[in-house]
């Protein structure tokens, strides 16, 4: 990782630190668009900050071969969305039920962006999981439920008009590559069903396990808001489950996760939007669990047909969604 000294000096001056003693790489950004790193600072009430350093020139390769101008533009817009989220939403609506890092500084140029965020490590969220226990999965579902309740019917100004990184309108290349004829034919109807359903909220858009940080007592905070936008909350639920299930769980286990989410959503609405009928919301969203899976399946099967997330469970839900939409239409 090569970060110029002048960049580190700009960060130090911007947040009022005496100096940055050293930095450590957390990970390169997807597609080599820059770096996510921790900077250790002196002269501040906290020992470290998180820096997202985004380099904008189009890279020469993509991890799965999707190196196109459209892919490049989508990625650039995603970073703009994330900056807008942290500047205009996150800092103004901090809630203990949905913890996330505060934005400390933003600097944007034609070829680079600096996003300096509170380090969640400094407030106890020190762990990132590669696998999760049922308790940890439910903690993430509770976070999502409160997030969805808090941002119900909010206009996504400066964010994605439709959230999630796999949204149909932003993935024409993957749709063209899709060989599943029935799913391809239903793609637009699936999308419309989700985008036009009642009770739209803001969705995280990439609510996989890797984007949650855990405390020692399994509380969670979320990061990485590049694909936040308007949508049905089931999109975030299936993304979380897609990253935590082994796809051999008993049906009762998954039903228990859904039940937990909707109980937490009802409780969240009481706190944030008590005028919204939680029973009507649940009746509108529950049938869309399989539809949200089918929407994601459409993307995955066009993007990487050998992916582990294409399996008997996701195929059965996709089939159920297609039958359900045929009945409705």
Q: Quote the CA–CA distance of 53 and 127 in Å, as a whole number.
A: 22
Helix segments in the chain, DSSP class H: 5-15, 69-88, 134-150, 172-177, 181-195, 234-242, 251-272, 278-285, 289-303, 312-328
Instruction: Write the pLDDT tens digit of every residue in 144-192.
Output: 999 999 999 999 999 999 999 999 999 999 999 999 999 999 999 999 9
d(C-alpha 308, C-alpha 19), whole Å: 45
pLDDT number for residue 329? 55
- Rounded Cα distance between 259 and 262, Å, is 5
CB distance 115 to 14 below 8 Å: no
Q: Give the pLDDT of residue 68.
A: 64
3.40.190.10, 3.40.50.720, 3.90.550.10, 3.30.200.20: CATH of 1-123: 3.30.200.20
Distance (Å, whole) CA 90 – CA 191 = 27
List phi, psi (to 5°) of 171. Answer: -130, 50
CATH placement of domain 124-329: 3.90.1200.10
The predicted model scores a pTM of: 0.93
Q: Where are the domains of the chain?
A: 1-123, 124-329
Average pLDDT for residues 124-132, to the nearest whole number? 96
Confidence at 289, pLDDT banded by 50, 70, 90:
very high
Span 82-93, mean pLDDT? 88
SS (H, E, C) 35-75: EEEEEEEECCCCCEEEEEEEECCCCCCCCCCCCCHHHHHHH
Residue 149 near residue 268, CB atoms below 8 Å: yes
Instruction: Please report where in the chains the tokens 């990439």 appear, as a residue.
Output: 206
**Nearest CA-CA partner of 320 in 196, 183, 207:** 183
- Distance (Å, whole) CA 229 – CA 237: 15
């Amino acid at each position: 990782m090569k970060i110029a000294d002048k960049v580190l000096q700009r960060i130090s001056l911007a947040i009022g630190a005496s100096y940055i003693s050293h930095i450590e790489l957390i990970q390169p950004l997807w597609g080599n668009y820059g770096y996510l790193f921790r900077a250790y600072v002196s002269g501040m009430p906290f020992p470290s900050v998180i820096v997202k350093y985004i380099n904008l020139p189009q890279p020469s390769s993509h991890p799965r071969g999707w190196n196109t101008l459209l892919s490049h533009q989508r990625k650039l817009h995603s970073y703009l969305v994330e900056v807008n989220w942290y500047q205009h939403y996150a800092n103004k609506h901090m809630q203990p039920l949905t913890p996330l890092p505060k934005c400390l500084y933003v600097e944007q140029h034609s070829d680079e962006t600096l996003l300096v965020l509170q380090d969640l490590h400094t407030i106890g969220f020190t762990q990132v999981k590669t696998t999760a226990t049922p308790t940890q999965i439910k903690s993430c579902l509770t976070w999502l439920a409160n997030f969805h309740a808090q941002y119900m019917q909010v206009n996504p100004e400066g964010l994605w008009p439709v959230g999630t990184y796999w949204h149909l309108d932003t993935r024409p290349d993957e749709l063209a590559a899709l060989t599943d004829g029935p799913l391809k034919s239903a793609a637009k109807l699936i999308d419309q069903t989700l985008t036009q359903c009642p009770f739209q909220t803001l969705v995280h858009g990439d609510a996989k396990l890797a984007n949650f940080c855990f405390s020692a007592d399994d509380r969670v905070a979320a990061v990485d808001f590049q694909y936040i936008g308007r949508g049905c909350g089931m999109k975030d639920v299936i993304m979380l489950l897609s990253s935590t299930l082994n796809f051999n769980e008993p049906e009762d286990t998954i039903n228990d996760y859904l039940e937990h989410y909707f109980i937490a959503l009802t409780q969240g609405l009481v706190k944030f939007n008590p005028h919204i009928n939680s029973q009507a919301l649940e009746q509108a969203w529950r049938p869309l669990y399989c539809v949200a899976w089918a929407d994601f399946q459409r993307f995955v099967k066009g993007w990487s047909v050998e992916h582990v997330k294409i399996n008997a469970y996701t195929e059965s839900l996709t089939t159920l969604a297609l039958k359900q939409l045929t009945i409705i239409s």
